[in-house]
Chains A and B, each alone.
Chain A
Amino acid sequence: MDLENQKRVKEFAEKYGAENVVVILGAAEGEAAGLAAETVTAGDPTFAGPLTGVQLGLTVYHVCEPEVKDEFDPAVYDDQISMMEMVLDVDDIIDEMSSIRDEYCKYL
């Protein structure tokens, strides 16, 4: 995850409390989604950014995961996301995301 965004995520977690913050990703593939999810839960795996060694344990989902998709207005989802969803490997993304959440999320 981009270093500037890591800094922002850290500041929001401090400002609002980590239990009140949810991160939603739009990554194109499972591996990138998993890396970003790991960054906001267990800390930056590349040891480069402000979240290195910081275990925020934030709740994190990819926008195409069924748990959050169920909460969106279906018309808005159809309009904004469904075209791109067709070209993503959603099963791979779900696998990556759920294993990171099971291991590191503190507020589920």
Chain B
Amino acid sequence: MAILKDKKVVIIGDRDGIPGPAISACVESAGGEVVFASTECFV
């Protein structure tokens, strides 16, 4: 069963890892609905 399709997806990106907008683009390509995306800084 698909993990992302038709789900409400919350994205917590990381400034030193993968940023939020890059993850959003991927999630949307898989049919997930991005309800929130942010880019955190863990420092």
Contacts and interface: CB of A to CB of B under 8 A. Distances in A.
B3 A22 contact: yes
B3 A63 contact: no
B12 A22 contact: no
Contacts, number: 110
B35 to A, nearest CB: 6
Given A59-B3, A63-B18, A21 B12 contact: no
Interface in A1-37: 1-2, 5, 8-9, 12, 16, 20-29, 32, 36
Interface residues of B, number: 32
Interface string A22-57: 111111110010001000000000000000000000
A26 B11 CA distance: 8
Given A32-B42, A68-B4, A73 B10 contact: no
A56 to B, nearest CB: 11
Q: Is the interface of A mostly helix, strand, loop or mixed?
A: mixed
Interface of A: 1-2, 5, 8-9, 12, 16, 20-29, 32, 36, 59, 61, 63-64, 67-68, 71-73, 76-77, 79-81, 84-85, 88
Interface of B: 2-5, 7-14, 16-20, 22-23, 25-27, 29-32, 35-36, 38-40, 42
11 contacts: A1-B40, A20-B7, A21-B9, A22-B3, A26-B11, A68-B4, A71-B2, A71-B31, A76-B26, A76-B29, A84-B18
